[in-house]
């Protein structure tokens, strides 16, 4: 007796590329809405059996219809209420300022130190600037950011890069609790570079996401000094989670801000380094050291 083969929808996935555009776009929306964060263009192309060019065209059409939100590298679902945005989206904002902050922050580091780098696009700029400083040797860098760890890889073996471990958050490519704290108690760092989404006098450094906030607190607690890296758009804002009050912040490195915005932070006793075009200028014109 001849058996009849049963063909599942998955077995026909190779035909996805032949789907009419409306059906393909419906499938894209379904995938994006079911994802916890960013869905990359390459992943959508693989899932649909079509080209990345076609997916980009579909994403453009879907964004016009307000069905998804395009970001650099892919798309995210609409209706995220936390105010937190994907790393790829914030990476294209204030790029000049972040690069200047990165260089100024890297100037605070000396060879032989242990440095903690937080997750985020501004700490990632610090990582890039540290790699560019070829005079630095025997540096140990601890991070909970997969993106930052990869950015630091070209400097190995000049640098030793330690990833904290923990639970992956796709939106920021970060590692958070549970299990993030397994490594940190064994580390005594010289300086921690910490980012956030808000900085004001009343609350200090704040962040929109509570798991990320707790991770930032843990990272800062490992270091002798805390340096906040934040562009001018963060000043005067306060968000859900308090990372560090001003009295526990040693230095703020910033760019793209105004004297009026900086004045209250300085008046509270915190040193503020306003990065110039070369990323080396301190408020008094001297180069700072950690």
Q: Give which of 207, 233, 231 is closest to 218, Cα–Cα.
A: 207
Cβ neighbour number for residue 114 with a 10 Å cutoff:
19
Q: Residues 231, 113, 192, 36: is their CA dihedral positive or negative?
A: positive
DSSP class of 102: H
* Model confidence at 135: pLDDT above 90: yes
| 284: Cβ contacts below 8 Å, ≥ 6 apart | none
Which are the contacts of 37, defined by CB distance < 8 A and separation ≥ 6? Answer: 76, 86, 169, 170, 171, 172
> Given pLDDT bands bounded at 50, 70 and 90, which one contains residue 89?
low
CATH number assigned to the domain covering 10-79: 1.10.10.10
Amino acid 108: pLDDT? 97
What is the structure's pLDDT at 36?
A: 64
The string of pLDDT tens digits covering residues 254-289 is 999 999 999 999 999 999 999 964 433 344 333 344
Nearest to 144, CA basis, from 110, 168, 178, 108: 168
Among the residue ranges 5-9, 102-106, 117-121, 184-188, the one predicted with the least confidence is 5-9
SS3 for 238?
Answer: coil
Strand partners, 225: 191
Query: Would you state the structure tokens that stand for residue 16, as one six-digit string?
Result: 């996805």
The pair phi, psi for residue 26, each rounded to 5°, is: -60, -40
Side-chain half-sphere of 258: how many Cα atoms within 13 Å? 4
Instruction: Reduce the DSSP state of residue 273 to 3 states and report it.
Output: strand
Q: How many helices (H) and strands (E) does the chain have?
A: 9, 15
What are the residue boundaries of the structural domains of the chain, listed by start? 10-79, 95-274
Instruction: Write out the H or E segment, with its range, that includes residue 105.
Output: helix 95-106
What's the mean per-residue pLDDT of the chain? 84
Which stretch of 73-87, 94-108, 195-209 has the lowest confidence by average pLDDT? 73-87
pLDDT tens track for 182-240? 889 999 999 999 999 999 999 999 998 888 899 999 999 999 999 999 999 899 988 88
Which top CATH class is 95-274?
A: alpha beta
């Amino acid at each position: 007796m001849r058996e009849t083969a049963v063909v599942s929808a998955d077995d026909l996935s190779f035909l996805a590329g032949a789907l009419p555009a409306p059906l393909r776009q419906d499938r894209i929306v379904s995938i994006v809405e079911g994802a916890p964060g960013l869905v990359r263009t390459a992943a959508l192309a693989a899932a649909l059996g079509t080209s990345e060019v076609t997916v980009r065209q579909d994403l453009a059409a879907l964004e016009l219809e307000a069905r998804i939100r395009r970001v650099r590298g892919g798309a995210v679902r609409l209706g995220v209420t936390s105010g937190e945005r994907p790393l790829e989206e914030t990476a294209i904002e204030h790029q000049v300022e972040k690069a200047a902050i990165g260089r100024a922050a890297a100037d605070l580091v000396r060879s032989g130190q242990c440095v903690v780098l937080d997750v985020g696009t501004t700490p990632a700029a610090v990582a890039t600037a540290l790699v560019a400083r070829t005079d630095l040797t025997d540096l140990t860098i601890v991070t909970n950011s997969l993106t930052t760890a990869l950015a630091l890889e070209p400097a190995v073996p000049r640098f030793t890069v330690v990833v904290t471990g923990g639970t992956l958050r796709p939106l920021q490519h970060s590692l958070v609790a549970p299990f993030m704290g397994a490594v940190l108690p064994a580390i005594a760092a010289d300086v921690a570079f910490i980012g956030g989404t808000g900085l004001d006098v009343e609350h200090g450094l704040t962040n929109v996401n509570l798991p990320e906030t707790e991770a930032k607190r843990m990272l800062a607690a490992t270091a002798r000094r805390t340096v906040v890296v934040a562009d001018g758009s963060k000043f005067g804002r306060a968000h859900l989670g308090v990372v560090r009050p001003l009295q526990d912040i040693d230095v703020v490195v910033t760019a793209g801000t105004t004297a009026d915005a900086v004045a209250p932070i300085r008046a509270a006793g915190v040193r503020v380094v306003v990065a110039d075009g070369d990323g080396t200028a301190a408020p008094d014109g001297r180069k700072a050291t950690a």
